A = this chain, B = another copy of it.
């Protein structure tokens, strides 16, 4: 995606398009997995783009609040990715650390249970740990 389109995307979400935000969004768009703030910071550094880590955190928090990214907390660390149509969480392999999507986390069933008790669910986080199919076989 072109920088100009990215700027429009930001503006349409009520976000002022500073070059830092544009670059961070580019990194998110070019990644097919969720990234932590420091991973994003590293990817930027690799492109010789220097943005302070604190700025990366602030921008990601903004993106999240505006709904253009979705955050997952895994092992106490935040990971961000562009918000997709499907809601998702991750299975994390304790051997190779690879993350695999869990699309259906059954939260609707839990929500329904809680709604009956008059609890209103606003957000949730699910982490599943184990051994992935690749690491299951050999090793």
Q: Which A residues are within 8 Å of any B CB, using their own CB? A: 73, 76, 91, 93-94, 100, 102, 104-107, 109-110, 113-114, 117-133, 136-137
Contact = CB atoms under 8 A, between A and B. Distances in A.
A119 B131 contact: yes
B114 A128 contact: yes
A78 to B, nearest CB: 9
A131 B125 contact: no
8 contacts: A105-B110, A114-B128, A114-B130, A120-B131, A122-B131, A123-B128, A123-B130, A124-B127
Interface centre among A94, A119, A121 (most CB of B within 10 A): A119
B76 A121 contact: no
A91 B119 contact: yes
Contact of A124 (B107, B118, B122, B126): B126
